[in-house]
Chain A
Amino acid sequence: MLTLLLILLPIAAGIITLLSGERLAKQVALIGGLASLGVAVFTWLQFDPAAGSQFGFKYAWAASGSISFAAGIDGISLVLVLLTTFLTPLIILSAFKHEYKSTASFYSLILFMEAALIGVFTATDAFLFYLFFEAALIPVYFLAAVWGGENRAKVTLKFFIYTIFGSLFMLVALVYLYYQTPGAHSSEISAFYQLQLSPFQQGFIFWAFFIAFAIKMPLFPFHTWQPDTYTESPTQATMLLSGIMLKMGVYGLIRFLLPIVPEGMANWGLLAMILSVIGIIYGSIIAIQQSDMKRLIAYSSFAHVGLMAAGVFSSSVNGLQGALIQMLAHGINVIGLFFIVDIIYSRTKTRYLDQLGGITQSTPHLSVYFMVLLLGSVALPLTNGFVGEFLLLSSVFQYDGWLGAIAGLTIILGSVYMLRLFQKSMFGPRSKWVEGFQDLTASERAVLLPLVIMVFWIGIYPNTFLKITEPAVSQLLQLVNN
């Protein structure tokens, strides 16, 4: 039942936010986000990693008895629910300093988005998963389309159509799988795991899933919607997209692709892996010369997600565990970095590196937070990024030495573009744009401090989270290897 509560609570909070009027909306939304976090932490405390899917519920869906409204939480779901509920209140808080028009709608959309995301990560029924997968698109679409930048209309439409298009492939695959299940049919994801599919069927389903999730993350070459969307969206929508929503794609690979079509993986995994590795290098190289800070981080995010996918395609325990811990780390770092760009932008009215410089001279606090998040993002040991990157790269390396070495270039390229980002904005002579730059306010620190704490927590004691996911991952790998 906790799962149901986790999904319904943000919806309820969103509705209350909407009703509470423009003046109180912020606070109500924050309380709603924190309440969800509370429930998630409570769930974590009750959670037994060894016991499989827990706290579940299952209601028959009106028309058909075999498709059901069913969700539950295993280790993999739990870490992503924790990530979602941890980041959502911070995203809400990060918007406090902005005066958005129609405040109540803005904040309630964030909460609706949270509900949909939790739904995606907990659904145990394939069609419910699909429903949430699509539903998650709606709030973020409106956030981007209503509160975005100048080119928002064109950019968000492309994003919307592109991802909807991708999900249709998944829908086809799901319907097909549904009709393959024996007897009265079942759309439980676990029922799909039991299917005996021919290599041809597996290949077809492999690509259907791959395209859907590759567009969502995005992976090379399905990524062209992403930099524009990240850049044009209001910061909070960018945070939702990059911090949490792209994890739906990685989650989908783990939950659907690997266990349902292991032979498809065996046949086509190498190609998918190569595309992922190309994306890592391609994204990193493009990030090197970006001048718009937001776009730079967008490309870096694209590169990082490529590595996560590569880890998943290695179908090894290192790869999966690495991808899971990296999803947490990436969510934390990327949200922090986008927030810092937002802080700089709101004070200087520019995001262009050529116009910035010397901010650090008046901002000891901002400098430290920025630096820590940057170190997490370049995977310095004892920060959150290292654990994931280490495991992921080791899994790719064991899959294929050359691919591992090429993917490894990310640690060099990553430091090239990240240090350039930091140097051009924070160091050097003070630019006229940053005159009178004030250090962080209390509410800004309230957003950044929890993120920084998590950077070190995951970096210093990753076993907290690795242990949650370990049993679920090894179960999954058994399915893959059978």
Chain B
Amino acid sequence: MSETLLILIPLLPLLGFLINGLGFPNLPKGAVGIIGTLAVVASFVLSIMTFNAFLAGGSQPFIVPLFDWITVGELKIPFSFQIDQLSLLMLMIITGVGSLIHIYSIGYMHHDAGFGKFFAYLNLFLFFMLLLVLGSNYVIMFIGWEGVGLCSYLLIGFWNKNTNYNNAARKAFIMNRVGDLGFLLGIFTIIATFGSVEYADVFSKATGFQVGDPVIVTITLFLFIGAMGKSAQIPLYTWLPDAMAGPTPVSALIHAATMVTAGIYMVIRSNVLYSLAPSTLEIVGIIGAATALFAASIGLLQNDIKKVLAYSTVSQLGYMFMGLGAMAYSASMFHVITHAFFKALLFLGAGSVIHAMSDEQDIRSMGGLRKKLPITFLTFLIATIAISGIPPFAGFFSKDEILAHVFEHNKILWVIGVLGSLMTSFYMFRLLFLTFFGTFRGTHEQEHHLHESPASMTIPLVILAVLSAVGGFIGVPEALHGTHYLAEFMSPLYDAARQVNPEAFEPTILSHSEEYLLMGISVAVALVSAVIAYVMYVQKAAVPEADTVEKSALQKAVYNKYYVDELYDAVFVKPIKTLSNVLYSFGEFFIDLIVNAFVKLTSFLAGQLKKTQSGSTGDYVFAMVLGIVAILFWKLLL
């Protein structure tokens, strides 16, 4: 595997961006779709080749230096890539799921006037996402980190005539920037502490630190602020539900499968640092659990098909951070992978539904779609089972592994996790039943238009459904007499962390029977929720009430997302605006007042001084005498 080919992995999507971006008014639609998709598929093929070469070469990580990017004094920031287990796994997800979503978009975006722009942005996103995971140091990660934020901004506001969409896009960018500042301060602390930003340097030097060293705690906290922004954790999560303003394939790729998992990638990448900072990990776990529960509860009452999935994503990301908090790095990565499959599938399925429903997103207007959209329905069903954690589908294995680790670590968080599972299963089956079961509740016109999506859209659905169904078998726990291939593969990543904090990596103390019990509980919870949802929405055929109907206070709070947006608006947005106006009108006026006063004072003094130049000899003699007296006084008395 030559290095040139490796460089092509991010470069091909960049090339696709340039071709489509610069040439789209002149390129035929067919060519645009093919160029955009081919760039990513080729990248995927190259990723597989790299993966195989890596395995064949004895799984030895290596660095591909490209050029010196920023050199200042002692600080050298090279532009270089690092290939190891983690970057390879991310490569496979990004380019694999990315390819499917590109294919899907050919069908989904077919009628859109901005078709070329869309593919250009999507390719640019992949370029930055690949940089993020391929970089061999924190600053390259930061390039990708901000770059994907830009693409997210551009794609959320893709339909830029709509002011609400633009506001959603701006909100996403700014909120991410809050996290980015944390990331940046983390990098600065890393530079101050280690004198380098290269992972290899930083991690090897970190092994000289004690567990709990305040500097490491500081660094990990700063980095985690970045992760909270990008991966939509409390308190920086409110941008993600709004991000659903973007076209649905964007929600699938960026706001579910790849970009939002960057925070998890960052923590796993920095596992040496985090393993040295158990107090940070406590915080990570608590924030993750809180987010998992909080977002799931909001999902219970949402009626917009994409909003439900968005809160579900926030909640699932919370589970991943819960896992990280319990130092179950591989388990979290496992959930990143399975989540990429089933959540991308759910969004694409939702896209297929929206496509069929003539852009309707309210599930209260749907119902009974399973007959008209059989492929969409079946695949959506598989994804729903997978995310709910029902065996043997993918989500069961990964979520269960996280919960088992959390149980060992902190029983309270585990209870929260199980509660979250209960809600997850309920809101997902609620969504499934309201959309695909019962009778159609939309308009006649919509009913008339109902159709299954074209093959370019259903084929990706089917592939993702297969992956959601069987993807969990890469990590079957020992208790179920399987092999955890993923954990074995990722194990070398933690060598340094194991060395600095051996206790944290001791094998599980749970007995098999305990593990069975835990599995039993989470499966039972999921099934019970599914049954309740079935009774409510299929047997009783309940439909959520219209917005005009009066709700109880609690329902209202949940339905309005606990008024967090309103809270932020009152606490941050409005005061800053007021401050801006005050500074502009009063601050500037006041400073000018001083300046003018100074000018006045100067001219006044000048006027006074002018009087001394009276031209009268008597005055001068008088002044001279005064001066001599003053000097004498000074000399004699002091």
Contacts and interface: CB of A to CB of B under 8 A. Distances in A.
A390 B587 CA distance: 29
Interface stretch (A94-102, A280-288, A344-352): A280-288
Contact of B577 (A288, A391, A405, A428): A288
A423 B576 CA distance: 19
A423 B163 CA distance: 9
Contacts of B591: 221, 223-224
Nearest to A417: B580
A160 interface: no
Contact of B73 (A224, A282, A380, A474): A474
Interface in B576-621: 576-577, 579-581, 583-584, 587-588, 591-592, 594-595, 599
Interface string A212-252: 00000000010110010000000000000000000000000
State which size class the interface on B falls in: 35 or more
B160 A461 contact: no
B517 to A, nearest CB: 47
Interface in B429-476: none
A326 B34 CA distance: 40
Interface string A369-405: 0000001000011100001001101100110000011
A403 to B, nearest CB: 12
Contacts of B188: 393-394, 397-398, 404
B580 A289 contact: yes
Contact of A321 (B72, B142, B170): B72
Contact of B150 (A317, A380, A423, A466): A380
A467 B580 CA distance: 40
Contacts of B540: none
Contact of A394 (B69, B142, B191, B584): B191
A426 B169 CA distance: 14
Chain A CB count within 10 A is highest, among B73, B142, B592, B594, for B73
User: A221, A227, A358, A467: which has the most chain B beta carbons within 10 Å?
Assistant: A221
Contact of B587 (A161, A282, A462, A466): A282
A169 interface: no
Contacts of A375: 150
Contacts of A398: 188, 191-192
B518 interface: no
Contact of A467 (B25, B71, B185, B187): B71
A27 to B, nearest CB: 31
Contact of B160 (A381, A412, A427): A427
B601 to A, nearest CB: 13
A467 B592 CA distance: 42
A159 to B, nearest CB: 12
Contacts of A426: 160
B304 interface: no
Interface in A270-287: 282, 285-287
A463 B71 contact: yes
Given A224-B595, A394-B188, A397-B185, A415 B177 contact: yes
A282 B591 CA distance: 12
Given A285-B576, A381-B147, A408-B181, A463 B68 contact: yes
A282 B177 contact: no
B88 interface: no
Query: Which of B72, B189, B583 has most A Cβ within 10 Å?
Result: B72
Nearest to A474: B73
Contact of B184 (A227, A393, A470): A393
Contacts of B173: 415, 419
Nearest to B71: A463
Interface string B137-148: 001001100110
A360 B160 contact: yes
B70 interface: yes
Interface in B205-223: none
B75 interface: yes
Interface in B150-207: 150, 153, 157, 160-163, 166-167, 170, 173-174, 177-178, 180-181, 184-185, 187-189, 191-192
Interface in B1-58: 25
Q: Which 6 A-B pairs have the closest CB atoms?
A: A317-B73, A381-B143, A289-B580, A427-B160, A397-B188, A288-B580
Interface of B: 25, 67-73, 75, 139, 142-143, 146-147, 150, 153, 157, 160-163, 166-167, 170, 173-174, 177-178, 180-181, 184-185, 187-189, 191-192, 576-577, 579-581, 583-584, 587-588, 591-592, 594-595, 599
Interface of A: 161-162, 221, 223-224, 227, 282, 285-290, 317-318, 321-322, 358, 360-361, 364, 375, 380-382, 387, 390-391, 393-394, 397-398, 404-405, 408-409, 411-412, 415-416, 419-420, 423, 426-430, 460-463, 466-467, 470, 474
Given A224-B595, A289-B580, 10 more contacts: A288-B576, A289-B577, A380-B146, A380-B147, A391-B70, A391-B72, A397-B185, A404-B188, A408-B181, A419-B153
7 contacts: A360-B160, A390-B184, A394-B187, A397-B192, A398-B188, A398-B191, A470-B71
